[in-house]
Amino acid sequence: MEQEDLIEDIDALQLAQSEKIFTKASNFFIRKWNRKEPTFIEYFQKEWLTSHRGWYEGIQQLTPSTNNGLESNNRVIKDENTFRERLPLSRFKILTFEMVQKWSKSYERGLKQFHDEQTVTLDIWTKNEIEFYIPGGQQLSISKNEIGVMKKMKWYSFDQYKAKAFNIWHVILPMDSAKWLNGQCNCPVYFKKFMCKHIVGLAIRLNYCKPPPAAKNIPIGEKRRRGRPSKAKKALLIQ
């Protein structure tokens, strides 16, 4: 049971939305488990809180949380170039130049695009955005005091961090309704997919967008079935 609780706490620590939160939560994590699992905590603190501490979600927003993109690129190299064979160094060197040349031409022709920095637009300079605080989990409402606790990180143990750091979601939407897709949220789903139900829900409520007809055919709380949605039945016909 303790092992499951330990893994659950590590999962909660991984969801930290910023370095400040991660540092504070890490200290509480060590304080909580140091007596129960001293050997593991010594290893964990050395390896994952000192040497390799860049594994939490909020370390860098709008960047991949996994290396899936890199692995996808590796698969292309193996499937289309090396054909999963071990090549002599001389042959691999020639093949490497060919791959780089092909990729360079793809970027040159606009078939692929690469951005190494964020674009700061006028609406960002002028802070043309609106903030929302949404209750998480089973909560139906939140108070100003709870928002203050979340902002100021008033946690005094790791259990309080788990309970209070994820019960309020902070959503930021642009004032320009056409740019609602650029909204941001601090929930775990957003860090993975750069989009979440909180942004979509607020955009719908503010009339920034409308849900597609296919979404209206699914009762709330149910997942969409596989395959193409069924077409609407014709009116005035016996089915």
Task: Tell me what the mean pLDDT of segment 117-130 comes to.
Answer: 65
pLDDT-based confidence at residue 183 (cuts at 50, 70, 90) = very high
C-beta separation of 202 from 165 below 8 A:
no
Both tokens of 172, joined, read 């930021």
Calculate the average pLDDT of the chain: 84
Cα–Cα distance list, 106 to 68, 69, 74, 99, 215 (Å) = 21, 17, 17, 11, 37
* pLDDT number for residue 227: 65
Query: Per-residue pLDDT tens for 204-213?
Result: 998 999 888 7
For residue 137, give the amino acid letter. Answer: G
Integer Cα distance of 207 and 223 in angstroms: 24
- Per-domain residue ranges for the chain? 2-59, 68-108, 122-216
C-beta separation of 22 from 58 below 8 A:
yes
* pLDDT number for residue 55: 92
Integer Cα distance of 133 and 127 in angstroms: 17
For residue 97, give the amino acid letter. Answer: F
**For residues 40-57, b (16+ Cβ closer than 10 Å) or e, as one string?**
ebeebeeebbeeeeeebb
* pLDDT number for residue 117: 62
pLDDT-based confidence at residue 28 (cuts at 50, 70, 90) = very high
Query: Per-residue pLDDT tens for 219-234?
Result: 666 565 666 656 555 5
pLDDT-based confidence at residue 199 (cuts at 50, 70, 90) = very high
Integer Cα distance of 132 and 183 in angstroms: 11
Query: Per-residue pLDDT tens for 132-178?
Result: 999 987 778 888 888 888 888 888 899 988 888 888 999 999 888 88
Query: Is the pLDDT reported for residue 235 higher than 60?
Result: no
Strand partners, 184: 172
Task: Tell me what the mean pLDDT of segment 72-98 comes to.
Answer: 89
